[in-house]
Structure 1
Amino acid sequence: MSLPPQVSDSLIFSHLEKILDFPTFRNSLILSGFLKFVVEETLAGRAKGLKEYTIGVEVLGKKAGYDPQGDASVRIHAGRLRKGLEEYYSGPGIEDSVLISIPKGTYVPVFSLKEKEGSPSSENMPSISRPTLAVLPFQDLEDDSLKAFADGLCDQICSDLGMFSELSVISYFSSRRMASQEIDLKNAGKLLDATFLVTGSIQSKNDRVRIRVQLIQSSSQKLIWTNVYEREKAELGGFALQDDIVRHVVNQIGGTHGIIFREGAKANPIRHSIDIKVYDAVHWYYYLVNDVNEPTLQKGLEIMKNTVSLDPNYALGWAILGETYVAGYFYGFDCGEVDPLAEGVKCGQKALILDRLTQHGYQTLGLAYLFQRKKKECLQIIGEWEKLSYKANGVSGGLGFCLIAAGEFERGYHLLCESIQINPYYPWWFNAGLSFYHFFKKDYAEALYWAEKIQGQSLLWELILKTACLSRLEQSSACQAAYSQLRQFVPDNSLLEELLGSFLLSEELVEELRKALRKAHKIKSNALGMNQSLN
């Protein structure tokens, strides 16, 4: 093809290198190879040879003689390539003077110059990389009824995982077309360019069915997670079984407390430089909530502020930055802001303006309004979240905690229990929420059970709840020990009173806790008086 005279080959090659360093291409051998091949072939004067068959053989490693009509892999990756270029030019390449595009209906790139807008240069701006996941059709299907159920199950798993903004999910149509070619898992992952694969099988015997779902890391073929569901075969005819399984699978795999990010957070990001290419925001969030201390939180603030400055349209990044400010306020850490709660609200609102489906934005605002003692706003934002067609399990637990603290006990208890039953990996304050609930219900033994499950992750609130429960249970020795520890943290009575009302908006609950702590003080005083009289 003829190039505009002002776009030299050297300029195009230089620009190509910048694009290939963009995470979408740098993390994908297929997309980087695809783009490099079509650009180099075009500049070498061989644009006429850029056909689907040629790309399949030269880029995707297809065997000679393969039929492009029955194999959609080149078309699938061409669509992903165009999307990757759009992401690059709307992010770090927004000010680039050269534009490389691949019009639909052809595989021949077009090179052109574009006018700069005069805004600050974003050269070398890193972007947000997300794990890519594909759902493959289930195997070992024995009859047509199982095939229909499995297809619907896989399609819904794919659709619901796509609701997580922290994941990039390949359409089930593409995965199913690929799997129909009887390609093994390793090659399917390579051809789909997926970091993780969801697959499984369905077996039936007599009146029972066994459904096995697996999550596999495609490059290593390592089994990351698996679960088995056994049901009556008669249940296959309705949607209830499908919804139940999908909900469990999706919340085990996706979200900030799902297995993908738990695996990713095993590394310690505190050792790395402030670079979103090194550690994704969701990985950082998971690490932060499981190891809360002031240096970690301050590092997290620095990382997340850097992240949203590099990518101002990253809604999830804004939500996590906001929640980090809220966490800093709660723990009394230095956030570098006069009013960290106000900053948290700004970030949460920004996240939802950018993308109303960013569920962490609702959690950030729910917590921030709770700590600001704005009950109306807290309940309102939770109500808006409840209108979403899909509700992330981890966020439902967080908002359940907010509801309990706001005095909406039954509504919050339902969300918290549901969240914990589906995914047992959650932050300590979920346990505190259940302890508050049972204490309010005067089930002090159950409240003590949940308080003890905090296990030192917030020793202050663990001691407050344990002391209150033990005093009501008349366990004098244990109550004295817990109360003594508590007074080491909070020696001032007025400060203890202030803590109880800091975010618990139910006056009835606060008063019951106050009474229990006063009783603990009396138990301690009586014990001291007895010891002095004996001496």
Structure 2
Amino acid sequence: MQSSRASRDGAANPTVKEVRDQIERILSSGEFHAPDRGRRFLEFIVEETLSGRADYLKAYTIAQEVFARDTSFDAQNDPVVRIEAGRIRRALERYYLVAGSADNVVITIPKGGYVPSFDYAEGPGDPALQATSDPGPPLSPGLTAEPAPIAVRPAAPRQLSRFWYAIPTSLVIVGIASFLHTPLFSVITTSPLPASAVSSDTELPRIIVERFQSVPGKNASADIAQGLTDEVVGQLTKFKEILVIAPGVGQESDTRGPQFALQGGVRLEDDIVRLIARLVRKADGAVLWANNYDADLRDRNLLEVEADVAQSIATAVAQPYGVIFQPYARGGAKPDSGDWEANACALSYYAYRAELDPRKHAAVRDCLERATKRLPTYSTYWALLSLTYLDEVRFQYKLRAESPRPLALAVDAAKRAVDLDPQNARGLQALMLANFFSNDVNAALRAGAAAYAINPNDTEVAGEYGFRLAMSGHWETGCELISSAISRNPGPRGYYEVGMALCAYMRGENQAAELWARMADLKYNPMHHLVLLAVLGASGKLDEAHREQDWLRTNAPLLLENIREEVALRLHRPQDQEHFLDGLKASGVAIPPVDGMIGSR
């Protein structure tokens, strides 16, 4: 029988009865947001631990008992247990921040395993942080007696600042990559960024966030307005392509002035809050974008509302195809100051990328090469140059570019971007793609996870990371991200729609796959025609498949001649490659045997 052990503050640890009462309290609370299988997961691991079977809490056991997986379950290829554990960690954190702030017993699931930890609320540290720290001493298999407290780490006091309230949101970001076995941020250097790594701010579009207005005389709305202002500033600064000016900071001495102002207001009536935001062009006062966000504070935590609204505003305004960049991308405006030529290269990259126009590719590439020479310490220009080189590899049948060794150039430029600024999501996106097409999939996913964790509001990052997850075999997680990118991205939707077609095809949903493929602009890329061709073949629509095959033979004949190499370049797992090739075979495409493939995986 396990003996009682005191916490560091002298208090005994929770008894079995206290833990069971606490789990019942959590599961009955409306603030514990978890699906039925998540609740079963939590109940199972708590009861197994209380019954002295903590040593048996492995992914394999949980998958069989909770998720009804059979004996062939492979945790390496099916991350369901890791993903669900991450969701339950976040649900517990939210519960203790909202409804359980006064609870005496704290239940967490330390990272790195599935054995829960049981603590009293008093003690040094914070329960919101316990889930991310190292697990404490293992529970004894002999724990069965009711009076004996459970030997665990001491928990935290309930002194939570606004910063710690934001922890669950950040953990949602990190949790999506929790199934990767290597550390999430192993691609990021830990040394401080040198001063020379940041280019002059003058070449960036400048936006000032004005203080959000509140209803006079209502302290609650004033607090919400201040909180939302702070959240918006924080979310906007994750985008490296703009310069964000905080309200009241350095405006008097700034002779150049911002090109844009983000304004907003808060209205509060009982428990209903309306948040209003608009982007104004300073030169003439024109409102370029506006939106309202309503929330019922009886249903949602205020801090969650503020975070969600700030993320939506940042995505709409500052992502690569967002409101700030749309007039520049169309060529209708120039920044008022700074190095226009260098900044124009970045803006023209997105205009080219929206249509993948072969006529613009060489000009954009040459412009970015000049920009990196003019401003060699600006990370974003190196990242965009890497992506432009990489287009010559993954879209070669569309662009027909002829740069020598484009993949090697892309890798070098991406590494340079990340070395200059390890927190630049665009640089990590470039490194992810460069590594993926260099067949270093693990390194690619590490870089993608890091990019997404830094800025999940950037739909270009989220969508590309979703693609790499899906094509490396993590279809469910990757396809969810691609779907999210479509709902938020005003850029090249066809690119993501074909991604959704591929997701549906891999699930065997050929009708949905065809609908997605036909929604996309098939002129965008011969690879899109190839996806539709496989879908039509699998559906037995041979007449339509023959028309697609004729188009490819006319417009991209080398694609079909090198079909195995091209498919293997994009789909990492051999079983996914063969599934895709089966659709092409059914459409009448001659597929060479594996032995005849050059450079096969």
Give the structure-1-normalised TM-score: 0.66
The answer for unaligned runs of 5 or more in structure 1 is 1-88, 92-124, 179-187, 270-274, 524-535
What amino acid does structure 1 have at the position aligned with 2:242?
L
- Flag the structure with larger Rg: 1
Contact 2:428–2:451 (8 Å) recurs in 1: yes
Equivalences for residues 86-165 of structure 1 within 5 A: 129-139=203-213, 141=215, 143-165=218-240
1:345 corresponds to: 411
Contact 1:357–1:388 (8 Å) recurs in 2: yes
Whether 1:513 and 2:577 are equivalent positions in the alignment is no
2:459 corresponds to: 393
What amino acid does structure 2 have at the position aligned with 1:197?
A
1:503 corresponds to: 570
> How many Å apart are 1:278 and its aligned residue?
7.0
1:203 corresponds to: 267
Whether 1:248 and 2:316 are equivalent positions in the alignment is no
The answer for unaligned runs of 5 or more in structure 2 is 1-194, 334-338, 591-601
Give the distance between the partners of 1:278 and 1:319, measured in 2 at CA.
14
1:299 corresponds to: 363
> How many Å apart are 1:302 and its aligned residue?
0.9
Give the distance between the partners of 2:372 and 2:204, measured in 1 at CA.
15
Richer in helix (by share): 1
Contact 1:256–1:282 (8 Å) recurs in 2: no
Secondary structure at the aligned position of 1:380 is classed as: helix
Give the distance between the partners of 1:278 and 1:301, measured in 2 at CA.
12
> How many Å apart are 1:466 and its aligned residue?
1.4
Give the distance between the partners of 1:506 and 1:395, measured in 2 at CA.
23
Contact 2:534–2:587 (8 Å) recurs in 1: yes
> How many Å apart are 1:189 and its aligned residue?
13
Superimposed CA distance per residue, residues 90-141 of structure 1 (whole angstroms, 9 cap, x where no aligned partner): 79xxxxxxxxxxxxxxxxxxxxxxxxxxxxxxxxx99861111111122352
Give the distance between the partners of 1:281 and 1:317, measured in 2 at CA.
8
Whether 1:309 and 2:373 are equivalent positions in the alignment is yes
1:423–1:295 Cα change, 3 Å: closer
Give the distance between the partners of 1:374 and 1:447, measured in 2 at CA.
28
Give the distance between the partners of 1:160 and 1:327, measured in 2 at CA.
29
> How many Å apart are 1:491 and its aligned residue?
4.8
1:359 corresponds to: 425
Secondary structure at the aligned position of 1:165 is classed as: coil
Give the distance between the partners of 2:319 and 2:293, measured in 1 at CA.
21
1:368–1:483 Cα change, 3 Å: same
What amino acid does structure 2 have at the position aligned with 1:220?
D
> How many Å apart are 1:207 and its aligned residue?
4.5
1:379 corresponds to: 445
What amino acid does structure 2 have at the position aligned with 1:231?
A
> How many Å apart are 1:349 and its aligned residue?
0.6
Contact 1:420–1:426 (8 Å) recurs in 2: no
Give the distance between the partners of 1:427 and 1:339, measured in 2 at CA.
29
What amino acid does structure 2 have at the position aligned with 1:515?
D
Superimposed CA distance per residue, residues 160-197 of structure 1 (whole angstroms, 9 cap, x where no aligned partner): 2112221111123539xx8xxxxxxxxx9998922111
> How many Å apart are 1:214 and its aligned residue?
0.5
2:143 corresponds to: none
Give the distance between the partners of 1:211 and 1:382, measured in 2 at CA.
32
Superimposed CA distance per residue, residues 278-332 of structure 1 (whole angstroms, 9 cap, x where no aligned partner): 7533312211202323331111111111111011101101101111100122232
1:444 corresponds to: 510
2:555 corresponds to: 489
Give the distance between the partners of 1:316 and 1:439, measured in 2 at CA.
35
Give the distance between the partners of 2:405 and 2:473, measured in 1 at CA.
25
RMSD: 3.1
Give the distance between the partners of 1:491 and 1:169, measured in 2 at CA.
48
> How many Å apart are 1:392 and its aligned residue?
2.6
Aligned residue pairs, count? 387
Give the distance between the partners of 2:225 and 2:404, measured in 1 at CA.
54
Contact 1:200–1:214 (8 Å) recurs in 2: yes
Greater RCO (Cα-Cα under 8 Å, separation 6 or more): 2
1:459–1:193 Cα change, 3 Å: closer
**Which stretch shows the higher mean deviation, 158-167 or 471-480?**
471-480
Secondary structure at the aligned position of 1:499 is classed as: helix
Give the distance between the partners of 1:231 and 1:152, measured in 2 at CA.
15
1:496–1:189 Cα change, 3 Å: farther
1:475–1:334 Cα change, 3 Å: closer
Give the distance between the partners of 1:426 and 1:235, measured in 2 at CA.
35
Whether 1:168 and 2:248 are equivalent positions in the alignment is no
Contact 1:157–1:249 (8 Å) recurs in 2: yes
Give the distance between the partners of 2:521 and 2:408, measured in 1 at CA.
30
Superimposed CA distance per residue, residues 70-105 of structure 1 (whole angstroms, 9 cap, x where no aligned partner): xxxxxxxxxxxxxxxxxxx979xxxxxxxxxxxxxx
Contact 2:500–2:513 (8 Å) recurs in 1: yes
What amino acid does structure 2 have at the position aligned with 1:413?
C
